[in-house]
């Protein structure tokens, strides 16, 4: 936790002190090559080795587990074929204002199209944690994939500082899961959870996914992403 806190303090300091030198630093750095795609999966990158998971969950994918009508709690699972495919919704202005959302393909039925997306659900708990849902309804505004001048990494952001993944031994969802939540600061990360970064891995949306969904006013924008997050050799990039 100390290292995580220290790194973010340094980052915050850099951003506040000199945005120009930060962007110069980025373009001079040795970063893995990024592409741009219409859609992406989110891959967990654990910077600090942790002992709370066996097997390790590094490079696992964000997905949802059904917890109620139109509601899916965010979890990690190991295989690409079960990874959720997301896209960024918002106008160019929304991108500049970090007011986009991380959306899921709309669900179509005879009665019309229902939006779906990543939603933040604050709840009463001693740590001020926020649940993450892959739910029916528009995704929460204020989430996206960091790009451009703000970060050299194609990584997911929300209004909360940390994504965390928790070893929940309680069978909260029918059986134990690797639950993914949000934490406002390092102090609020519980013992059974670790901070995790989500990197975007390029994906494709199903053909015709937005046909007949005009009423939802979807503005799909391209997202920075990596071809294969699991193949990145971090020893070349730190
Ligand atoms: C990803 O994790 C590796 C360790 O497995 C770490 O060296 C690297 O800094 C992490 N990258 C990001 C962008 O978090
Ligand atoms: C969660 O922690 C318990 C107790 O330390 C351990 O037995 C279990 O294997 C862990 N679960 C996972 C999925 O790693
Ligand atoms: C997509 O973004 C546009 C522009 O901000 C917004 O009007 C619309 O409600 C959003 N749609 C969904 C499904 O999130």
Which atom of ligand 3 is the closest one to the Cα of 139?
14
* Ligand 3 mean position, distance from CA 37 (Å): 19
The pTM (predicted TM-score) of the whole model is 0.87
The answer to whether 151 and 197 have CB atoms below 8 angstroms apart is: no
* Ligand 1 mean position, distance from CA 93 (Å): 30
Which atom of ligand 1 is the closest one to the Cα of 48?
4
d(CA 132, CA 123): 11
d(CA 194, CA 78): 17
Q: Which ligand is nearest to the CA of 166?
A: 2
- Tens digit of each residue's pLDDT (9 = 90 or more) over 97-133: 999 999 999 999 998 999 999 999 998 999 999 999 9
Residue in this structure with the two tokens 């730190």, named with its chain if needed: 238
d(CA 223, CA 225): 6
Asked if the model's pLDDT at residue 139 lies above 50, the reply is: yes
Give the H or E element holding residue 165.
strand 162-168
Longest distance between any two alpha carbons in the chain, whole Å: 54
Phi and psi angles of residue 180, each rounded to the nearest 5 degrees, phi first: -110, 130
């Amino acid at each position: 936790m100390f290292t995580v806190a220290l790194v973010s303090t340094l980052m915050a300091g850099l951003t506040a002190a000199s945005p120009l030198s930060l962007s110069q630093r980025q373009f001079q750095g040795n970063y893995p090559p990024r592409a741009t795609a219409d859609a992406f999966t989110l891959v967990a990158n654990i910077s600090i080795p942790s002992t709370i998971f066996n097997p390790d969950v590094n490079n696992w994918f964000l997905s949802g587990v059904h917890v109620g009508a139109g509601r899916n709690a965010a979890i990690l699972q190991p295989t690409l074929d079960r990874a959720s495919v997301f896209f960024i919704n918002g106008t160019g202005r929304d991108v500049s204002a970090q007011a986009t959302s991380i959306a899921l393909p709309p669900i179509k039925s005879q009665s019309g199209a229902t939006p779906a997306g990543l939603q933040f659900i604050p709840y009463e708990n001693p740590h001020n944690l926020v649940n993450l849902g892959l739910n029916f309804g528009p995704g929460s505004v204020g989430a996206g994939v960091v790009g451009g001048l703000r970060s050299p990494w194609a990584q997911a952001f929300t209004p909360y500082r940390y994504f965390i993944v928790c070893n929940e031994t309680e069978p909260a969802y029918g059986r134990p899961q690797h639950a993914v939540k949000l934490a406002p600061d390092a102090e609020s990360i519980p013992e059974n959870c670790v901070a995790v970064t989500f990197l975007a891995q390029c994906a494709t949306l199903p053909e015709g996914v937005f046909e007949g969904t005009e009423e939802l006013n979807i503005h799909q924008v391209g997202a920075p992403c990596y071809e294969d997050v699991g193949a990145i050799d971090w020893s070349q990039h730190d």
